[in-house]
Structure 1
């Protein structure tokens, strides 16, 4: 299928859409605190870049869904990194924007739009969570290029997927030049084995979890390291995860500070997991 460049004349909800908008309506599923793991990672890892912005940093919550909670929470969490941060929630479904308007406040606004990101100038952060799952794998690269083209120098795009209550996440971090890293994050107390995160792989990777593909090999080695770290389970799931990360780092290019391991996160370079050519 050719990548989408404009919306169809009507969305899945039956509302007419402007042909200038780029994208399609998502299911809109959202829950309070669903994206907390992603938000905290962004604030910790991208916080220094936000603070270096000469003007107030601008962050976009793209496709926030049927309720505005994720945008409200993103502003709160990013302001722990830089109190100047302004957040713009963008939704392609007009009714969702109208429903979010009462939640606007200083530094938080909601606008109607899609992948074109209708915000003046460049932005310092775009978070697109659970947005691309409905698209074809072949469409992802074009969406990434479009969104990365809206980033300011030093900006960041975070695109990924999580479960309904935010226990398991996988996301890709991209700069203006393209993808950089992949982060696996989980609530450790709910994890049976690391490959359980496979169902939350972003669209660019989820269909590549098959023998012969790098992400499949990574998850296989992740499970093996987790099994080898079983004796550490008596010290708690966090200690087992940290030991697993140390074992995994011997063969895979993990790039996150070890302090992030304590949060139930592991980040690996994109190049190590990038899909093989078709």
Structure 2
């Protein structure tokens, strides 16, 4: 069981990214089911996930899953059309194959060697690829208590795809401040010789080089720094997402060594 810290809007950056990048898959699905895995002591994140996903895929329904039975009982008064709560864990007790599993701040209490097995188990529950669809999406990551800084890994049925760094730009001193929010698979790899350490080092250098743009605001400085990063790192998104204080990189470029 997690501590269950659940502040309203804590996962807004992750939710907006999911809606923007996975909304098409949800719209095309016959039965678009999303799972909020480990929603915590209060149901706010599941309620908010339903609202945000329905702006892009109105038929989406959400099931919040918690391993602590008392939290499920406390959440049930918030049940409504399209939103339900169930007791469970990584087995994901839900009908069918979800198009989305969101697991935020869940794996932080596990040991790093356990992460791969959890990822594999959750990915096996996703809707499969086929018929022009890339299949379901697992989004697993960590954020601070009020959602200013967030890093997550996106995985499909085939495994990890990307890593996204997202922040409230006005609160950022330098990009490596996000290191403390790296998901469990990466947080202990932020050491010399590991790709994620090299990426954050290069990001800080690009941020420093972009200092003259700070006079136009933190967003313009971030845009310039990310654009410079693309020369050496496989950034997979576009300026439209960079403007939101995000940057997404191919998992293969940041995956731990060994």
Asked if TM exceeds 0.5, the reply is: yes
How far apart, CA to CA, are the structure 2 residues paired with 1:166 and 1:238? 18
Contiguous gaps of at least 5 residues in structure 1 = 1-24
1:44-193 alignment to 2 at 5 Å?
Answer: 44-53=20-29, 55-153=30-128, 154-193=135-174
Q: Is 2:206 aligned against 1:225?
A: yes
SS class of match (2:6): coil
Shift of 1:258: 1.8
Distance 1:131 1:274 in 2: 20
- Residues 84-120 of structure 1: CA deviation (Å, up to 9, x unaligned): 0000000000000000000010000000000000001
Structure 2 gap segments, 5+ residues each:
129-134
How many residue pairs were aligned? 252
Residue aligned with 2:21, SS? helix
| Secondary structure of the structure 2 residue equivalent to 1:152 | coil
Q: CA RMSD in A?
A: 0.5
Q: CA deviation at 1:257?
A: 2.1
Q: 2:3 aligns with which of 27, 38, 41?
A: 27
The residue aligned with 2:182 is: 201
* TM-score, structure 2 normalization: 0.97
SS in structure 2 of the partner of residue 174 of structure 1: strand
1:269 corresponds to 2:244: no
